[in-house]
Amino acid sequence: MSFRLCLAWLRGPATLKVSLNRGSPGRHLVRQHTLDRRQRSRVRLQLFLILVLSGFISLYILSKSLYLALRFPNESPFDNIPSIFLQNELRKHPLSDCDIYTGTWVPDNATAVYNSSSCPFVEAGFSCQDNGRRDSDYLKWKWQPKGCSIPEFDRDDIRRRLNGLRVAFIGDSMGRTQWESFICLLMSDIANNRSVYEVHGKTITKRRPYLAVRFSSFNFTVEYYRSPYLVQEGAPPKHVPKRVISTIKLDKLEATAARWMQADVLVFNTGHWWTNSKTFARGCYFEVEKSIRLGLNLESAYRKALKTWATWVKTKVNPTKTQVFFRSYEPSHWEGDWQKRKCKAETKPLLNLSYAEDFPHLQVLNEVIKEVAAPITILNITSMSAYRRDSHVANWTRSQMVDCGHWCLPGLPDWWNRLLYAALLRKQVGVWMQ
């Protein structure tokens, strides 16, 4: 039945009869159509309900789009598309083709996924909000690589992939900050906080050489090993000058290496302790093959220690099981030299910063890994961190001294872990394959 005849049918039998006669000129009407009035009423009601429902759906879509546009004016138009469509769009810009380390900070209205008062694993000295910081603008910035976007920190996906695995962070206090951030991000939506606990019941302080947090409901552990140099520090050999109080044994990896060698994800860092104030000023010198090297400078010693570590990774770590990362040096924002340095509490990042400056630590790291040819991925957070003078603990800490080296939590270290997640997905090894 044509659309015109359908309308005639809905109007009534007489109308339909006329329409049929008009539709076939020169021919006699062979039959009469008698339509049941109740049937016509039912069809009319159905059409009416369909029109009303379509109107409500259109109104909802329009109002939802307007709300999202007003609520999240700085977000990408893809941010609120269902995941199946978003995944198809992201395939056009795969992570493998994306330089996630080169970009800029852009304003973002999103709120932090956790707060320090609700996460028991944030060290008191890094809990800036609890220590009196009133502004929150430092949390409203998003790292935007050029030409692509890094994935959200998908807690459900990460916990699913980590089932039965171990993640270990090895390094200095900056590494401990990243470890704390990683745990807080992963547990931020877990209703039962008691299912996440430190395995030995320890509180989180800078004096703990080893900490391990168990996610019992998801069957994985996130560990931290304190190792500021990644190589051993200890007593000097006999018959050395009196000024030598301790030594850094550049050819011997940290003694706890056997404990974290079998972890499934290893994240290393070192850098902030390779300074005059942390070495020579406190009577700490360098040792190689049980011999003191008094004339060895900091850069050469750092290079030697990294080579010892990278060689260990190459010879001892199974790359099909364990993914190894080195998180690069994060610049501090002290003013002045190390003897008379000052720290100013900032609330805005350095958005117009053009980094032509060389970072010796990063250059040495790249050269060593290339020379040793070890299966190590550099998590290059140096440039992105250099902009963020506003994210330091500064005077929002428990210490009597201001601090332009460490970082607030939540804050910048959360973005280091966003990059870590993206880097794991890029490697496409083991459980991290799509």
**Residues with catalytic roles:** 173, 403, 406
Beta partners for residue 232, in sequence order: 249
Paired tokens of 31: 């039959």
> Which one, of 173, 255, 171, 169, lies nearest residue 213 by Cα?
169
Dihedral sign, Cα of residue 387, residue 391, residue 392, residue 396:
positive
- Distance, CA of 174 to CA of 409 (rounded, Å): 12
> Which one, of 108, 79, 140, lies nearest residue 410 by Cα?
140
DSSP H or E run through 267: strand 265-268
- Distance, CA of 69 to CA of 88 (rounded, Å): 22
H helical segments located in 108-211: 155-161, 173-187
The answer to whether 180 and 409 are in contact (CB under 8 A) is yes
Q: How far is residue 122 CA from its own chain's centroid?
A: 16
Paired tokens of 353: 């910063």
Query: Which pairing describes strands 403-407 and 392-394: parallel, antiparallel, or unpaired?
Result: antiparallel
- Distance, CA of 407 to CA of 173 (rounded, Å): 10
